[in-house]
Amino acid sequence: MKKVRITQIRSAINRPKRQKDTIKALGIKKLHNPKEHEATPQVLGMIEKVKHLLKVEEI
């Protein structure tokens, strides 16, 4: 299965609670600190909801 590397590049300050919770569920704790996940439909759906805050790379 493919993997994706997710990096938060924009702050979650002044974002809706739902977006903040999605960032937290993806395991992202700090800006510019990458996290790797399997490219499952659930993870890809979460990425789609907050794609304006993230940089996503396929591995």
Number of helices followed by number of strands (H, E) in the chain? 2, 3
CATH topology of domain 3-58: Ribosomal Protein L30; Chain: A, (3.30.1390)
pLDDT for residue 1: 82
For residue 59, the surrounding DSSP H or E stretch is: none
pLDDT in tens, 13-55: 999 999 999 999 999 999 999 999 999 999 999 999 999 999 9
Determine if the pTM surpasses 0.95: no
16/27 Cα distance (integer angstroms): 18
Is the four-CA dihedral 31, 9, 23, 46 of positive or negative sign? negative
pLDDT for residue 52: 97
Q: Domain map of the chain by residue range?
A: 3-58
